[in-house]
Structure 1
Amino acid sequence: MKRTRLAALVTGLTAALALTACGVPPSGVIEAGEAATGMSSPAPRSARPTLVSLYFLEDGRLRAYARKATAPASVQDAVRMLFAGPNVDERATVTTELPLLKIGPQVKAKSGSAVYVLLPEEATPFSHTAMLQLACTVSGVDVTLAALPSTAVIGGTGGSSEPPPATDPGSPARTVHAVGNGWSRAQTAGSCPEAAR
């Protein structure tokens, strides 16, 4: 019987100690603000539109037209928009000397000072005015954002897949090279009209 009493006594003492909680007095509900809900992630940022100047012809003269693009717009984006031509509203008064291509051109920027536009097989050599349209459009885009690694091979059905020669990586885009099947043209953007705002 001693064992039973001893076991009951130990159990009773353990329960009493647990109920007293080491001398912490009982309290009511303590208000401490909103309940925790876990970590919240920031809301995704929507891409802000930016303006890109595309150069078309109005009464035979080069003129910049603004287009909205997702920021930051790449040279590839600007070139594709340029080759798409004037929009529906502009077609009555605005023209282009660039051809409408079945396959879009590819753009390669080995450095910040030279941009290569690789054209599909169907493209014929561009006129001086078409080259100015291309050079002026490209000159308004930050080429360093669109630079590709020198090992990238971009081609399609025409042009060259060889990387262009190295140039100064920090300088602005000065020369655009249009490369077609068996032909190449280069143009600087030295005489471009003011960009569209």
Structure 2
Amino acid sequence: MTNSARARRIALAGLLAGALGGLAASTLTGCGIAPTGVIDAGEPAYGVKAPGKPVPDVQLYFLGPAGLRAASRPAKAAVGPEEAIRLLLEGPNEAERQRGLTNVLPVLPGRITADVRNDEVTLRLPMNAKRLDTPSVSQLVCTAANASVPGSRHPAEVRVTLVGDNVKVGPMVCGGTNAFPLIQAGPSPSATPAG
């Protein structure tokens, strides 16, 4: 093949590529979709999942129209019970409010701290623990149980106790939509010695 034939083929290929590019551009601009501005649609996407590594998140429990509901928020690292409770007390974000979620916890006179040991969490409240209603207790228990707790237990197996003003409530477990008192297994009536 001569140099002039090669030059003609290259020129022809360039002309063909330009024509196809122009055709594609005119097709895409003529599809009838008008440009829009920025649309506010809730929280922005966070990070990219690395293969084999789940993106950490934190589960906060708010009250919704049909009862207690989880709201998952992205996190940079695992979130422990105390930090999860702090986020819970800040209330639902805009996207969660649009889903009908609300916080029923009362305004507290101080902060809540958490003591964590294996599959047990003790939340120390700045008020009498028995003054909280059932939905408030469920919000606290389920948020703490679904946070990062040592021991790799399923959230339904994490025992949560509320302590405030020397009053103890619990231990309790999260049943998904409510907190329930942990039923301690004792000896069965047939196992007691006859006397």
C-alpha change, 1:106 and 1:180, in structure 2 (3 Å) is: same
Of 158, 161, 164, which residue of structure 2 is paired with 1:174? 158
C-alpha change, 1:103 and 1:68, in structure 2 (3 Å) is: farther
* Deviation string, structure 1 residues 103-157 (Cα, Å, up to 9, x no partner): 2211111x2221111111487622222222122212222211xxxxxxxxxxxxx
Moved over 4 A (4+): 169-173
Higher relative contact order by CA 8 Å / sep ≥ 6: 1 or 2?
1
Residue 135 of structure 1 is matched in structure 2 by 141
Cα distance in 2 between the residues matched to 1:126 and 1:74: 22
Cα distance in 2 between the residues matched to 1:190 and 1:89: 24
Matches within 5 A, 1:1-197: 50-91=56-97, 93-109=100-116, 111-121=117-127, 125-144=131-150, 171=153, 174-186=158-170, 188-193=172-177
Gaps of 5+ in 2: 1-53, 178-195
Q: Give the letter for the 2:79 counterpart.
A: A
Task: Give the SS at the match of 1:55.
Answer: strand
Contact 1:54 1:66 in 2 (8 A): yes
Gaps of 5+ in 1: 1-47, 145-168
* Deviation string, structure 1 residues 138-194 (Cα, Å, up to 9, x no partner): 2222211xxxxxxxxxxxxxxxxxxxxxxxx6755522111111422125334215x
Cα distance in 1 between the residues matched to 2:67 and 2:81: 23
TM-score normalised by structure 1 residue count: 0.52
TM-score normalised by structure 2 residue count: 0.52
What is the CA RMSD across the aligned residues, in angstroms?
2.7
Cα distance in 1 between the residues matched to 2:137 and 2:55: 27
Higher CA-based Rg: 1
How many residue pairs match? The answer is 121
Contact 1:56 1:65 in 2 (8 A): yes
Cα distance in 2 between the residues matched to 1:98 and 1:128: 10
Cα distance in 1 between the residues matched to 2:107 and 2:55: 26
